[in-house]
Structure 1
């Protein structure tokens, strides 16, 4: 095979990185966006050793998994990869993939509890980060990146994974900036004004926060925008409108200066009877009702902890620790990001919890400094997983149980193998679909000390 060669393939399998997989002449070809069961013409895009990547040129035969009920942006928008797959089949694909990874890692003799569906398969997201741009015809756009094209944006007004309040905010902000002739920021030239629109809506309280992110290249008065939104009918309750200034070159939402245009700079969400303050820049699970399922499983795996000390490592804004605290003797959370620790402390205070402590710093270092020893350790690391040195230090703590909450099955299985080789047996694994119509899946694992 050569680069740019076009070949006919049958898609035999899928991974959770948005690739269909086909086997040809002893090689595995990863086909971006392809679905198991399709027959397709594909173009070879990259050959690196045994790794071969390709793009779909034309679908010759549809997969039995496919259906046609998709939004009008599907295929162009880089958001949902699995929207054209029946939801039950999506769940089966994710469940099978996780089980396959565990089998390949040699994890044996444990209880695999399958996958828990998202309570809402559609309209489930509580946060959307939209980008300003223009299409090839010079028409203003506000939405998500075009699939495979870093600089191009499509206005996602028919999005199926957010409720109508997000679409209302998007359309009205786009109309406002067009009426005022405000230019979008060009990531290539670093010139322009409008960068992002971030909308957050608490699923259980209905509170809405709008954040306009711009550069400092224009001094615009957004008072008319506030007036406009005061006259707009929303299903939820608009709590705040913010203006964030970001002059960094990276295409991410950063805060160099923040101004509250209206209301307050945070919303309150309720999860399992507890309140959480979510600022414009706080990390919080983007599926609130799915998070309730995820944290309930972690709480169930912890078992009876009324006289136990629990460590919540990589705790972020402290969500899991705060949910465990009413049931535990004491909870200690450790997180590297100081701003997240500040938010965790504030959320603990908001819920009147006096038996929880949060420490800012590197997990591997801080757990050596804590005098108390945990009975239960909860791990909720970022996608790369747990540093191997930190795993060894966690094992030295000698907890009775370790509960590992993972957003990446690949790093999870790698870490479980290391724990398994060092006196911790995997007892249970349960998947949770927090992100319907995408390749992502969360897993909760219970390990016990042998």
Structure 2
């Protein structure tokens, strides 16, 4: 019996990266005033179906949905923005001072083809700003995501930007785009032919080489923006200029979901290969989504990044490796003998109380095997504690890199490791 396709077990070093990403993202989001929220993994399927136009693959192909014995039609969340909107109204957030800034993290599910950095069960971290129409919110959320990526060690990244306009702009552009796709239908892939009427904007998201060649000829939404939408986009770009955020105006950027309007963005990194840009993060404005879901009008902008791709890229390129490794235990407690085993628990608790990370070989009897584990885990220091150390009220500390050893009084253990590990009270 094996795990389900597209799902996986996460442990060891890659889990350390995930934990570091989550911790760093939460810290920065909290600093900038985002309140953390957790929404259910299971929602009514209607919540996600309503958020999409007919013909969207998230609804048609990718959503894990099921009927309960009671007849309820439920789904594992493929996206969190509809859930955030539901939570906003269900919990009375409209009565709070506006805008409401929310952050979240957790597991999401899409039945899509697994590939490197993308799985059917995946982790996301996201930010949402609800109840604000000003362009400053658009620039602010991009700015916070960029700061998270910087703190994770990414240096070579760029923000792709576009504006999808409002409903009026989109209506005019859609009419021209449908006309163009009809004229070029013989050159379109089967999927774009099918979506030409129901979801024509997805043409710009198509990766088929035949459709890629036609993009430069297609009518672009940026040329159909009204004065108000032009002004909103211009203000967003000017704020990013002032914040020294690197960006590229990408007039073919549409994002993968249907509920976006005005600003959309995607942050690409070239850390992997200089000539290959990988998408790390994306989002946009969704001023019409609440209405689509049956709620009152609510302006909003949000975005999210998939942790898998970021964690794997950080690991492969060694980004922030020293900081990530600091998050894992730095001490291995190896004991010899039954009496030492009991006292070891007391000493381990002293380390835990001072928040000094340590793991142990408490169920092992053989010292060599315990030290082998410490070496495999790349733990820098090992405490060796046997009958002699118990009687002398000492511990032996081994530097796992050099092999050097020294004896330390038990009452000095915490002080010793705080100095060694650079821990400040």
The two structures have a TM-score, normalised by structure 2, of 0.26
- If each structure's strand is expressed as a fraction of its own residues, which one has the higher value? 1
Larger Rg: 2
| RCO higher in structure (CA 8 A, sep ≥6) | 2
> Which structure has the highest helix share of the two?
2
